[in-house]
């Protein structure tokens, strides 16, 4: 029986695994970078470090974590923490590229460039999320249940809106967000963003 439950510290290794297995526009990114953990260190694990109370996982009947949703209720505060406290821990492991050329170098540069005020939609949509589900779990309504769980918590905190960014190549995800009533938001070329008012 598949269940949704709050994140626990022992789920951290699974966050890395699910993240890399869905990182390439929803497909498996294992082996694309020198270290598979890079994906999780940017897009999943910092959220459960700072906001374990805004993280839920999908647990399969055999106990495996096969999906998750992570979020922050204050993007600018999160980005400041990411820049000042989280990412400096990995500077030796992932040096800043001088002129990013490869996909991996561009992802590393993205991590270094994160800062408060960079995301144009935070005034109206201060929260943001990342959600990933392994293919075996998709099409069962779990994504909607995860987002509904998060939105209920954000509403209880008085958060006025939520946004997310995504790879435009992940067409299925874009259709999913539209079905949830999210609106497309202005964003940088080569990216796609959605938002919903709470």
Specify the number of domains making up the chain.
1
With CA atoms as reference, report the closest residue to 67 among 143, 175, 12, 167. Answer: 143
Tens place of pLDDT per residue across the chain (198 aa): 899 999 999 999 999 999 999 999 889 999 999 999 999 999 999 999 999 999 999 999 999 999 999 999 999 999 999 999 999 999 999 999 999 999 999 999 999 999 999 998 999 999 999 999 999 888 889 999 999 999 999 999 999 999 999 888 888 888 999 999 999 998 888 889 999 999
**CA-to-CA distance for 149 and 181, rounded, in angstroms?**
15
With CA atoms as reference, report the closest residue to 195 among 123, 142, 141. Answer: 123
Q: Please give, one letter per residue, the 3-state secondary structure of 25-70.
A: CCECCCCCCCCCHHHHHHHCHHHHHHCHHHEEEEECCCCCEEEEEE
Token pair of 3 as six digits? 């269940």
Parent domain of 174: 3-197
Q: What is the CATH number of the domain that holds 42?
A: 3.40.630.30
DSSP 173: H
């Amino acid at each position: 029986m598949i269940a949704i439950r709050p994140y626990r510290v022992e789920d951290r290794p699974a966050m890395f695994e699910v993240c890399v297995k869905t990182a390439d526009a929803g497909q498996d990114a294992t082996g694309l970078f020198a270290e598979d953990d890079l994906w999780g260190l940017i897009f999943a694990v910092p959220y459960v470090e700072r906001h374990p109370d805004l993280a839920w996982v999908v647990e399969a009947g055999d106990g495996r974590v096969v999906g998750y949703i992570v979020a922050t209720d204050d993007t600018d505060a999160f980005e400041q923490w990411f820049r000042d406290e989280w990412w400096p821990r990995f500077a030796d492991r992932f040096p800043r590229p001088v002129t990013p050329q490869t996909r991996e170098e561009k992802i590393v540069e993205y991590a270094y460039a994160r800062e408060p005020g960079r995301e144009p939609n935070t005034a109206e949509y201060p929260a943001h999320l990342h959600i990933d589900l392994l293919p075996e779990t998709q099409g069962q309504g779990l994504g909607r249940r995860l987002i509904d769980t998060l939105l209920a918590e954000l509403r209880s905190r008085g958060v006025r809106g939520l946004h997310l960014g995504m790879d435009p190549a992940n067409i299925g995800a874009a259709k999913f967000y539209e079905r949830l009533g999210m609106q497309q938001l202005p964003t940088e070329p080569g990216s796609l963003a959605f938002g919903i008012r709470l």
